[in-house]
Structure 1
């Protein structure tokens, strides 16, 4: 690895900072750690460009607030969110604001490294590599009507139970449609499915 790959870890849990930092340094990354969003934002203008591993739930200033502050300041470092609890609505909001990935704790090494590879490709290529709008629409067009309805609502931040209530079907049926649409889209995570949905310009008004 000839280029320095810098990762800024922002997490209020000291154990997460230590273990993630150790893992990334052993994988060849240059790492800086911050115990709060406020501490990170104080120094961000002077920091070496890189990618940010950002905890979503922190006291005083959460990860989404940090992301909003970065956008307001025109700082374009890609963000990978870390969370201790899966939250579809929060994931949707983070992705809409430009987050690269949304990883649940406890996370595996290969998941973090894969997300960082994606983030650094965005950093190096000026923008996150994603499906063009027309290609995304073609993929979405291959879904059944019900699968598109489920994807629309996932993109709107609804959880499975809320989707089931709105569509008048069981949560289990929603899970089946969700699994099927991900297979058809060729994705493995909610983040990837949302990226296609946003690229396709899905709008609840189309339902």
Structure 2
């Protein structure tokens, strides 16, 4: 799914000007006139970041933020705040919002923060996808391949692994090749790096 800045603001003039500004800098932008509209369109696969006005008719920006957090939203959120909304914005930051920008704001600074938020989202998704593929690899290992892997990670040589598991060196080599293939690594060092912090 194409990463986008999802802009939620009940002020049509602000929506139009911010959408134009973002698109003029090459940022995909989709805008919504109400928090409820975005909530109805939200799905876990959405990639990008959110620009939320704090005060809106109906559901407020912070209320939408809380609802999205409960649904498992991982997109970074930037709040657009009026002068009196700073304490509310600070409270949202403590709950994990990416940033808040006071209106009226410096156009370029706002777009730069949106671009940083998009990059953060892309990095987080890449890391999550990497973790998923490591888990998939681990789940595909047989019990024997796991035993061989644990002994390789303990720094043991094939001959010692063969003795400990009471199998031939050739069998250890076959298991080793299969588990390296399933984990997408070429060496024991790569395997150790891939699994650092996972075990």
Q: In the aligned structure 2, how far is the partner of 1:8 from the partner of 1:88? A: 21
Matched residues in 2 for 1:50 and 1:61: separation? 22
The structure where helix makes up a greater share of residues is: 2
Residue segments in structure 2 that go unaligned for 5+ positions in a row:
126-199
Aligned to 1:32: 30
Larger Rg: 2
Matches within 5 A, 1:121-200: 121-126=119-124
If the length of structure 1 is used for normalisation, what is the TM-score? 0.56
1:41 equivalent to 2:34? Answer: no
CA RMSD, 1 decimal: 2.0
Segments of 4+ moved more than 6 angstroms: none
Task: Tell me by how many angstroms 1:117 deviates.
Answer: 2.5
> How many residues get paired?
125
Deviation at 1:58, TM superposition (A): 0.5
Which residue of structure 1 aligns with residue 115 of structure 2?
A: 117
> What is the alpha-carbon distance in structure 2 between the residues aligned to residue 46 and residue 18 of structure 1?
26
Secondary structure of the corresponding residue to residue 57 of structure 2? coil
For residue 48 of structure 1, report the CA deviation from its aligned partner.
Answer: 3.4
TM-score, normalised via structure 2 length: 0.58
Cα distance change, pair 77–46 in 1 and its aligned pair in 2 (3 A): closer
Contact (CA 8 Å) 1:10, 1:40: kept in 2 or not?
Answer: yes
Equivalent of 1:16, from 14, 29, 35? 14
Shift of 1:21: 0.4
- CA distance in 2: counterparts of 1:31 and 1:105, whole angstroms: 19
